[in-house]
Amino acid sequence: MFSLVIPGFVAGVGILFLALSAASTSATAQTAYLADKPRVTPATAVQKKGRATAINAEEMRNLLKRNGGRPLLVNYWATWCDPCRDEFPDLVKIDRQYRAKGLDFIAITLDDLADINTAVPKFLREMKATMPVYLLNVSDPEPAINSVDSGWSGALPATFLYNNKGEVVYKHFGRIRTDELRTAIEKLVGSKH
């Protein structure tokens, strides 16, 4: 038949073959790379300073699980709650003092989702907060509140301290008593660094 070879055509096909081969290898490598990465969950997400991550009730419950990990302090609050705003500087100090000693601390706001990029980050920046912050994004917060503590009406602020087994060892509804909270934390992490 024809043995006519068009140099431009061969070169074009060769380049196309190389490009497709590289894209395939790149996609395969990327898929393998992503498969080796752990799944990012709210508990493992790296948060930008002064930002909150929206979570649902199930994700909130997962954050509270300890399974032998570090003790956990959790504060439920909102930017529109005056006692929450009043106690937040004390919580920021507690976080700074005890994080290196083995205490995890997360703040969960019950603000509206619309505030996640406005009022919430503005407040966190003002407070110089560095702890992970989550926004509970549920249509009805009552089931989530009941899953935390059936005796909690949902009034804010509310603070819970869990030991490394996930048992509540301290809880307070309303503005915290800083000395009382520090005493409870000291029992879990001690005063050593």
Q: List the domain range (segments joined by +) for residue 118.
A: 53-189
Report the predicted TM-score, pTM, of the whole model to 2 decimal places. Answer: 0.74
Same domain, 16 and 109: no
The answer to whether residue 165 scores a pLDDT higher than 80 is: yes
Q: How far apart are CA 97 and CA 84, in angstroms?
A: 20
Same domain, 19 and 71: no
Per-residue confidence band for 100, with pLDDT thresholds at 50, 70 and 90 = very high
48 located within any domain = no
- Average pLDDT over every residue of 138-157: 94
Same domain, 74 and 8: no
Q: Where are the alpha helices (DSSP H) in 47-118?
A: 57-64, 82-98
Q: Give the CATH number of the domain where residue 129 resides.
A: 3.40.30.10
User: Up-side HSE of residue 32: CA atoms within 13 Å toward CB?
Assistant: 6
Q: How many domains does the chain have?
A: 2
- Average pLDDT over every residue of 100-116: 96
Give the pLDDT confidence score for residue 66 in this predicted structure. Answer: 79
First to last CA, the chain: 84
Same domain, 32 and 59: no
Among the ranges given (28-32, 69-73, 138-142), the one the predictor scored with the smallest mean pLDDT: 28-32
3-state percent breakdown (helix, strand, coil) of the chain, nearest 5: 45, 15, 40
Per-residue confidence band for 182, with pLDDT thresholds at 50, 70 and 90 = very high
9 located within any domain = yes
Same domain, 17 and 66: no
SS3 of 72, please?
strand
Same domain, 12 and 84: no
Same domain, 107 and 26: no
Give the pLDDT confidence score for residue 175 in this predicted structure. Answer: 96
44 located within any domain = no
Give the pLDDT confidence score for residue 152 in this predicted structure. Answer: 95
Give the pLDDT confidence score for residue 6 in this predicted structure. Answer: 43
Q: What is the pLDDT of residues 29-63, one digit of tens each?
A: 333 333 333 333 334 344 456 789 999 999 999 99
Share of the chain above pLDDT 90, in %: 68
Count of positions (residues) in the chain = 193
| H or E segment and range at residue 170 | strand 168-173
32 located within any domain = yes
Give the pLDDT confidence score for residue 49 in this predicted structure. Answer: 60
Give the pLDDT confidence score for residue 48 in this predicted structure. Answer: 55
Same domain, 82 and 109: yes
